[in-house]
């Protein structure tokens, strides 16, 4: 192995942050926890740095990345905010909400980040590690989830090392992430569309606007397509039906384990492991990817998971499970 590709894991702290800022200034990428999942962060204004993210993940270059910034003022230097976007930002930032907005062409965001689209996905994270790296590096950071493209998302430093070890120089370890599923992605073009379900729930967004204007939330998950010209179109998130995928077949809505099958339980269904014994959906989201990683590493031939209610963050859990089960 090439020693320059040895992956170091450092605990969150001043030394790790300084090291991360050095790697990013040199055009490299670093795995950093956020409140959702671990992200693979690089300078969003440097196309070479962004290319390094795509290379490390083995990600198809048509799939655009999320830009992370410290605050709304920094976001407004990059994207054009309408009134609805400002209201969403005021309500949910810093936090697990990503807004898809028109990109300002002079903001210096590398076109590899937006994959050539006229919009940019942007968010203000709440996690101390990502915020410290943003402050120390002083640039907007493009950061997709820190896993090989299509694989299960990482909620622990060890997941990142298992997936990208040897391909990136540094992982900042700040324990398990709290939300456990990727940010909710919302577009405000022509109404409000949820492009990816996540920790900020449809119910929360509905409540915000029904209080004020009665504006309905259109559920555009997988329906919104972005015309990229030449007849090729990209639907927003998870364009790929198979995503977040374990290496073994996964059976959904299971009530008991079959032969040689690992069952992930929920509530009254105990299983080999459980997302939440008390049936708590927030706890279940936080445990989801860790449970899939452990199930995949078990000695059983196939995987199964108990039914998960579709309310609140359950919608995000079921979205990830549907893709994880698709083969």
Residue 254 Cα to chain centre, angstroms: 26
Q: How far is the CB of 153 from Mg ion (least distance, A)?
A: 5
Biggest CA–CA distance in the chain, Å, is: 59
Pick between residue 145 and residue 184 the one whose CB is nearest to Mg ion.
145
Residues lying near ligand TXA in the complex (CB under 6 A): 34, 36-37, 39, 63-66, 96, 98, 100, 114, 117, 119-121, 143-145, 182-183, 185, 195, 226, 236-238
Q: How far is the CB of 88 from ligand TXA (least distance, A)?
A: 15
> Of Mg ion, ligand TXA, none, which one sits near residue 195, judging by CB under 5 to 8 A according to partner kind?
ligand TXA
Question: Which window, 140-148, 170-178, 222-230, 262-270, contacts Mg ion (CB under 5 A)?
Answer: 140-148
Pick between residue 262 and residue 289 the one whose CB is nearest to ligand TXA.
289
The DSSP H or E segment spanning 280 is none
Buried b (16+ CB within 10 A) or exposed e, 281-291: bebbbbbbbbb
Q: How far is the CB of 237 from ligand TXA (least distance, A)?
A: 3
**Six-digit token pair at 247?**
């290496």
Pick between residue 243 and residue 287 the one whose CB is nearest to Mg ion.
243
Q: How far is the CB of 86 from ligand TXA (least distance, A)?
A: 18
The verdict on 184 binding Mg ion (CB under 5 A) reads: no
Query: Do the bridges between strand 97-102 and strand 141-142 make them parallel or antiparallel, or are there none, so unpaired?
Result: unpaired
**Six-digit token pair at 78?**
């990059």
**Cα angle value 191/78/151 (rounded, 5°):** 75
Query: Do the bridges between strand 119-123 and strand 66-68 make them parallel or antiparallel, or are there none, so unpaired?
Result: parallel
Q: Cα(259)–Cα(24) distance, rounded to whole angstroms?
A: 48
Pick between residue 178 and residue 302 the one whose CB is nearest to ligand TXA.
178
The verdict on 145 binding Mg ion (CB under 5 A) reads: yes
> Can you give the binding site for Mg ion, defined by CB under 5 A?
145
């Amino acid at each position: 192995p090439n020693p320059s590709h040895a992956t170091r894991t450092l605990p969150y702290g001043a030394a790790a942050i300084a090291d991360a800022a050095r790697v990013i200034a040199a055009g490299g990428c670093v795995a950093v926890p956020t409140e959702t999942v671990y992200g693979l962060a690089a300078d969003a204004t440097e196309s070479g740095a962004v290319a390094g993210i795509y290379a490390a993940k083995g990600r198809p270059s048509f799939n655009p990345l999320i830009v992370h910034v410290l605050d709304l003022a920094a976001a407004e230097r990059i994207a054009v905010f309408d009134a609805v976007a400002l209201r969403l930002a005021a309500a949910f930032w810093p936090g697990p909400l990503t807004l898809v907005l028109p990109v300002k062409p002079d903001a210096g965001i590398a076109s590899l980040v937006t994959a050539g689209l006229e919009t940019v996905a942007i968010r203000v994270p709440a996690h101390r590690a990502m915020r410290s790296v943003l402050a120390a590096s002083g640039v907007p950071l493009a950061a997709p989830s820190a896993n090989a493209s299509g694989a299960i998302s990482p909620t622990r430093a060890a997941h990142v090392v298992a997936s990208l070890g040897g391909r990136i120089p540094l992982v900042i370890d700040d324990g398990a992430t709290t939300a456990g599923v990727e940010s909710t992605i919302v577009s405000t073009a022509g109404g409000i569309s949820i492009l990816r379900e996540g920790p900020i729930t449809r119910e929360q967004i509905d409540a915000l606007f029904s209080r004020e204007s009665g504006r309905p939330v259109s559920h555009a998950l997988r329906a919104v397509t972005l015309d990229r010209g030449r007849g090729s179109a990209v639907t927003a998130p998870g364009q790929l039906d198979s995503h977040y995928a374990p290496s073994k077949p996964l059976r959904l809505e299971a009530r008991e384990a079959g032969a040689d099958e690992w069952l992930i339980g929920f509530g009254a269904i105990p299983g080999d492991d459980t997302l939440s014994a008390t049936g708590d959906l927030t706890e279940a989201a936080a445990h989801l990817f860790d449970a899939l990683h452990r199930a995949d590493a078990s000695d059983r031939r196939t995987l199964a998971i108990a039914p998960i209610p579709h309310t609140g963050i359950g919608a995000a859990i079921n979205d990830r499970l549907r893709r994880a089960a698709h083969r």
